[in-house]
Structure 1
Amino acid sequence: MTLNVDLNCDLGEGMPNDNAIMPYLGSCNIASGGHTGNAQTVIETIQLAKKHQVKIGAHPSYPDRLNFGRKPLDISFPLLQESLVQQITLIKELAATENMSMHHIKFHGALYLSSLTSQKLANQLAQLIATHYNDVLLYAPFGSCMAEEALRHNIPIKYEGFVDRAYSTGSELVSRKQPNALLTNLETIKTQVLSMVNSGSILAIDNKEYAIKVDTLCIHGDHPKALEIAQLLAPLIQLR
């Protein structure tokens, strides 16, 4: 059995296992200074990705290093856009120094989650991408406001599923504030992945099944079992 999907991971976030995880991936999302990271960590992660022929993407967030970008930030969109352009441009320019191109953009943390349900924010982010980065893919969940706005703005998209998080609906994750937000049992994770990819469905915490499409599966780099999950899933996946 081979699952024809991509496997991605959030890297360059100061975790000690980036070197170990990278060989199992098809793409990676590199922290670009908003929630963590700097030019040095970015170039090191790009070089590691290049070594293992892994596609690179920008992982921009609210400019909020104090909260690791995981809390909504009360900021005007012009200021947010300025920060996001700086973050994404950092990845794009440093990738060019290694003769690599930026493959995709994936928003991080609270910004990612807010874009799933806020049509206004999703539209603003889609306009930003369409204006400045219309030659790269966007990673976003199927059925989300962000995915809808990306399609409306003719932004190429890969639908993203999460292997290590519980779902509240087909496109929304259980809040990290809840004790059951993180999946840690490897068999549970494998079952969720097989359901998403093979059946096109996800079992949410309300015990309802929701339709889902996935082109790329995300492992959070700061998950305590991130490497074990990568080792579990990589043999099942035909990277694309």
Structure 2
Amino acid sequence: MLNKIDLNCDMGEGLGTDAGIMPFISSANIACGYHAGDRETIARTIDLALQHQVSIGAHPGFADRENFGRTPQQLSDTALYDLVATQLQIMQSICQAHGAVMTHVKPHGALYNMAAQTPAMAQVIAKAVSDNYPQLCLYGLSNSWLIKAAVEAGLKTAGEVFADRTYQADGSLTPRQQPGALITSEAAAISQVLQMVTQQQVTTTSGKIIPVAAETICLHGDGEHALPFARAINTALRQHHISIQHI
């Protein structure tokens, strides 16, 4: 059983909940301006993270603000590499201007899900990170191709599990367009988090229990229940003597 866990949240996406959530998490994944956000939002979110001693990460996504980066895109290897490298550069430049250190990177939305299931994409993303910012920790879906590619590229990794999403029997997240993809009950979210952290396993939508490597827990900042979930999950973890620390 783990006695500590990283609790991360996707932020800087213009949803107005960042300031409320920040005290309850240990890592912030900040949108880099492609699927959401802009330089001003990035700077403001970095400052918030610094105030609360929260680890700062880049959250690169497809250049698709209309669909919030959640629509799959097919890019060449070069275009995919540049997509990730450019967003990391944007985040790094703003971090430096604010005296902050970028510690990790977590792909967003469709980019994240596609890389989890597609070895070639995972390898390009891992290369874009390792070539340019080899010190960063790459967050990816637990037991996914993205984690495997990052390990092969020599990167530090964090296997990610989700507080507010349900799982399929193959370990993938239930697609958002399917019923039951989102967990909207606070009690259900807490139960799933505690199962993943204390037992390193999760119960899927079919009832099958599968193993997960829970090194960081994601809470979506755009979720309807994001703030109360953050508060409740933080409290539940501490009640079970699990400290919340960034990786």
TM-score where L is the length of structure 2: 0.94
CA–CA separation in structure 2 for the residues paired with 1:75 and 1:167:
27
Instruction: Report the more deviating stretch, 85-94 or 73-82.
Output: 73-82
Please state whether the residue corresponding to 1:140 is helix, strand or coil: strand
Query: Partner of 1:42 in structure 2?
Result: 42
Task: Provide structure 1 residue ranges, at least 5 long, that are not aligned to the other structure.
Answer: none
CA–CA separation in structure 2 for the residues paired with 1:74 and 1:123:
15
Instruction: Report the more deviating stretch, 70-79 or 218-227.
Output: 70-79
Q: Quote how far apart the aligned CAs of 1:3 are.
A: 4.8
CA–CA separation in structure 2 for the residues paired with 1:218 and 1:55:
14
Is the 1:19–1:48 Cα contact (8 Å) retained in structure 2?
Answer: yes
Please state whether the residue corresponding to 1:94 is helix, strand or coil: helix
Query: Partner of 2:178 in structure 1?
Result: 178
TM-score where L is the length of structure 1: 0.96
Q: Report percent identity of matched pairs.
A: 35
Q: Quote how far apart the aligned CAs of 1:170 are.
A: 5.7
Please state whether the residue corresponding to 2:205 is helix, strand or coil: coil
Instruction: Report the more deviating stretch, 167-176 or 216-225.
Output: 167-176
Q: Quote how far apart the aligned CAs of 1:79 are.
A: 1.8
Q: Quote how far apart the aligned CAs of 1:159 are.
A: 1.1
CA–CA separation in structure 2 for the residues paired with 1:169 and 1:36:
31
Deviations 1:132-155 (A, max 9, x none): 111110111221011111111111
> Given the alignment of the two structures, is residue 79 of structure 1 paired with residue 79 of structure 2, yes or no?
yes
CA–CA separation in structure 1 for the residues paired with 2:186 and 2:233:
10
Sort the Cα spacing of 1:9 and 1:170 in 2 relative to 1 into closer, same or farther, 3 A.
farther
> Given the alignment of the two structures, is residue 136 of structure 1 paired with residue 136 of structure 2, yes or no?
yes
Please state whether the residue corresponding to 2:171 is helix, strand or coil: coil
CA–CA separation in structure 2 for the residues paired with 1:31 and 1:152:
26
Query: Partner of 2:6 in structure 1?
Result: 6
Instruction: Report the more deviating stretch, 103-112 or 124-133.
Output: 124-133
Sort the Cα spacing of 1:2 and 1:209 in 2 relative to 1 into closer, same or farther, 3 A.
closer
Deviations 1:30-64 (A, max 9, x none): 00011011110000000111111111000001111
CA–CA separation in structure 1 for the residues paired with 2:80 and 2:244:
33
Q: Quote how far apart the aligned CAs of 1:90 are.
A: 1.0
Please state whether the residue corresponding to 1:160 is helix, strand or coil: strand
Task: Provide structure 2 residue ranges, at least 5 long, that are not aligned to the other structure.
Answer: none
Give the AA of the match of 2:185: N
Report runs of 4+ in structure 1 exceeding 2 Å deviation.
none
The alignment of Structure 1 onto Structure 2 pairs a total of residues equal to 240
Is the 1:137–1:156 Cα contact (8 Å) retained in structure 2?
Answer: yes
Query: Partner of 1:160 in structure 2?
Result: 160
What RMSD, in angstroms, separates the aligned Cα atoms of the two structures? 1.4
Give the AA of the match of 1:74: Q
CA–CA separation in structure 2 for the residues paired with 1:97 and 1:79:
27
Deviations 1:116-140 (A, max 9, x none): 1101111111111111111110111
Query: Partner of 2:203 in structure 1?
Result: 203
Query: Partner of 2:97 in structure 1?
Result: 97
CA–CA separation in structure 2 for the residues paired with 1:159 and 1:212:
8
Is the 2:141–2:147 Cα contact (8 Å) retained in structure 1?
Answer: yes
CA–CA separation in structure 2 for the residues paired with 1:146 and 1:101:
23
CA–CA separation in structure 1 for the residues paired with 2:162 and 2:63:
24
Is the 2:82–2:128 Cα contact (8 Å) retained in structure 1?
Answer: no
